[in-house]
């Protein structure tokens, strides 16, 4: 029944294509659903404007990893 899904994993590019398809779908949904940010994203944008040792109750590692992007 799901052989078509797992057949793609035999090639090295199969998992990559599935992952790329997933992110493409998420991107398209995100663009079409609205321009507002979720609560976590808003907090990240606000607190990530300058480096700090901590942001509210969360450690800053995630925010620091997002800076190069």
| More confidently predicted of 24 and 45 | 24
pLDDT bucket at 2, cuts 50 / 70 / 90:
low
The token duo for 26 is: 């998420």
- Residues 6 and 38: their CA atoms lie apart, in Å, by 34
How does pLDDT run across 21-33, given as a tens digit for each residue? 999 998 888 888 8
pLDDT value of residue 41: 77
Every domain of the chain and the residues it spans: 1-35, 37-69
């Amino acid at each position: 029944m799901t052989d078509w899904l797992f057949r793609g994993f035999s090639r090295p590019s199969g998992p990559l294509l599935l992952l790329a398809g997933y992110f493409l779908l998420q991107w398209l949904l995100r663009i079409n659903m609205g321009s507002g940010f979720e609560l976590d994203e808003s907090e990240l944008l606000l607190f990530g404007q300058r480096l700090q040792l901590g942001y509210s109750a969360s450690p800053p590692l995630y925010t620091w990893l997002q800076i190069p992007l």
